[in-house]
Chains A and B, each alone.
Chain A
Amino acid sequence: MSVGDRVLILPPFQEFWPAVQVIERIEQAADGQTVVFLAGIEGGFDPAYLEVAP
């Protein structure tokens, strides 16, 4: 996954944002875990909760 990719959010968060989203930026939290931020959504996501949209 990289910035600009279109992704789908997986359960349990899919019910809140069912539409295809666009990756805005990717950061590392203080503990080193990767956090993916999507356009228009404040909180980030573990990549495990995202899949590239078909």
Chain B
Amino acid sequence: MTITTVDGLVNALGNNSSRIVLDKASVANTAAGQFISLWRATGVPGQGAIPGAAAVCDHTLLGSFGFTQQTSPVTSYLGFFTGSTGIAPASVEIHDRLIHMGGLVGNVTTAQTVNVNLDGVTASNMVARKGDTNYSDISWWLEWYTDTGATASNATVAVTYDDGSTGNLAVIAVGGTVRAGRLIALIPAVAGRFIRAVNTVTLSASTGTAGSFGVTATRLRATLPTNANNKPEYADWAALGLPEIFNSSCLFPVVGAGGTSTGQVRGQGKIAHG
């Protein structure tokens, strides 16, 4: 950590920072308690592309908040963030999108290859970005890009854990039309183990519609609760936990939905360098 004093942080926020701006169109068909990716929502940052084969994400990808890259020993921290959601109470989260893949469909019942593996990945500053070497800082998700079908089906996800062991996660209900933007968390099925790779996804039945979804790994950097519709809330460095923003981080917004849509999501903040 290079910024070691409050004075240093104040100076960086005033004189050496990158501003991030958030203005995303509402994502429809949500429900309270669901996590919703704004990767594909239109606005600022721009609409991210649906990925194909597994690919490491970085700060240059459309859909991410760009910020000025720093040369060591200068480091970057999220110094403040203010934001609002059209539907509240909800939350706005800033995640570092580490790696993603797409192209999975809802009407194939054989195992679909994922091959998203963080083991040994060093490109795009991944060693720092992924955090603890046991992968415990990473959130894994099924991310929906277009709606799948209404017929009830069960998905099981084959993973590799941090110790190299493999297994299937508990089944996930994917019927009832999973909507675009939805993030469904992948939870380790073995206590004390953390996911380092997702290998395949298998549906027990066709949902009736192909749709499009994929697997995404992220690292949460900050959360801002929103308490009333369209009312901006504010968090300073202390409330945010002064999260370090590593070079190459692919920062993008996620909403913890509070109702049947996210409503317009707006905000801004500063990444302090020093």
Q: Given A29-B151, A31-B149, A33-B107, answer yes or no on A16-B206 (Cβ-Cβ < 8 Å).
A: no
B141: shortest Cβ distance to chain A, in Å? 19
> A25-53: which residues lie under 8 A (CB-CB) from chain B?
27, 29-31, 33, 35-37, 41-46, 48-49
Which residues of chain A are within 8 angstroms of B175 by Cβ–Cβ distance?
42-44
Whether the Cβ atoms of A45 and B205 lie closer than 8 Å is: yes
Interface size class of A (residues with CB under 8 A): 20 to 34
Central interface residue in B107, B156, B204, B206, by most chain A CB within 10 Å? B204
The count of chain B contact residues (Cβ–Cβ below 8 Å) is 25
Chain B's closest residue to A35 (CB) is: B205
Supply 11 further A-B pairs (C-beta < 8 A) apart from A13-B204, A29-B208, A30-B150: A13-B154, A15-B168, A16-B154, A29-B205, A29-B207, A31-B149, A35-B151, A36-B205, A41-B154, A43-B154, A49-B204
Q: Given A15-B168, A16-B170, A44-B151, answer yes or no on A31-B209 (Cβ-Cβ < 8 Å).
A: yes
Whether the Cβ atoms of B151 and A12 lie closer than 8 Å is: no
> B141-177: which residues lie under 8 A (CB-CB) from chain A?
149-154, 156, 158, 168, 170-171, 173-175
Bound CA–CA A3/B154 (angstroms): 20
Which residues of chain B are within 8 angstroms of A46 by Cβ–Cβ distance?
109, 204-206
A34: shortest Cβ distance to chain B, in Å? 8
Chain B's closest residue to A15 (CB) is: B168
Central interface residue in A16, A37, A41, A43, by most chain B CB within 10 Å? A43
Bound CA–CA A24/B156 (angstroms): 22
Bound CA–CA A37/B208 (angstroms): 14
Which residues of B are interface residues toward A (Cβ below 8 A)? 107, 109, 111, 149-154, 156, 158, 168, 170-171, 173-175, 202, 204-210
Q: Given A15-B168, A46-B109, answer yes or no on A33-B206 (Cβ-Cβ < 8 Å).
A: yes
A50: shortest Cβ distance to chain B, in Å? 10
What are 25 contact pairs spanning A and B, CB under 8 A? Answer: A12-B111, A12-B202, A16-B154, A16-B156, A29-B151, A29-B205, A29-B206, A29-B207, A29-B208, A30-B149, A30-B150, A30-B209, A31-B149, A31-B208, A31-B209, A31-B210, A33-B205, A33-B208, A36-B205, A42-B173, A43-B154, A43-B175, A44-B151, A44-B205, A45-B205
